Amino acid sequence: DQQVKQNSPSLSVQEGRISILNCDYTNSMFDYFLWYKKYPAEGPTFLISISSIKDKNEDGRFTVFLNKSAKHLSLHIVPSQPGDSAVYFCAATPYNFNKFYFGSGTKLNVKP
């Protein structure tokens, strides 16, 4: 039973526009959420995180939104750049527990 789901396996966006990647989870005990970015032949790299006491966290072009009542988080990339083309994983964990549950990933393609 997958507790973290990314229902869109792929997304294609024009350069300069907004990319919105979505993630849903089922476990109400999840308290901390992360987004990872993965290029081919590389390990996932940490991108941005959010804890449940916030509903938004921003870092440059990347913003993560958390809707706890809907058990939904999203990653916005504005403006999208071709170098953003990668697979994006969301992950969740209960607070103070070091096991992360990963989604299956969304492959983002930013077209020049």
Partner 1 sequence: DTEVTQTPKHLVMGMTNKKSLKCEQHMGHRAMYWYKQKAKKPPELMFVYSYEKLSINESVPSRFSPECPNSSLLNLHLHALQPEDSALYLCASSQTTGANYGYTFGSGTRLTVV
Q: Choose the stretch contacting partner 1; rule: CB under 8 A; options: 26-34, 54-62, 66-74, 77-85.
A: 26-34
Q: Are 106 and 88 a contacting pair, CB within 8 Å?
A: yes
44 to 103, contacts with partner 1 by CB under 8 A? Answer: 44-46, 49, 51, 89, 91, 93, 95-100, 102-103
Among candidates 3, 31, 2, 35, which has minimal Cα distance to 21? 35
| Cα 12 to Cα 94: distance, rounded to the nearest angstrom | 32
Which residue from 13, 32, 64, 71 is in contact with partner 1, where contact means CB under 8 A? Answer: 32
Q: Which amino acid is residue 64, in one-letter code?
A: V
Of 18 and 29, the one with the shorter C-beta distance to partner 1 is: 29
Altogether, the residues listed in the chain come to a count of 112
Q: Which residues make up the interface to partner 1 (CB under 8 A)?
A: 31-32, 34, 36, 41-46, 49, 51, 89, 91, 93, 95-100, 102-105
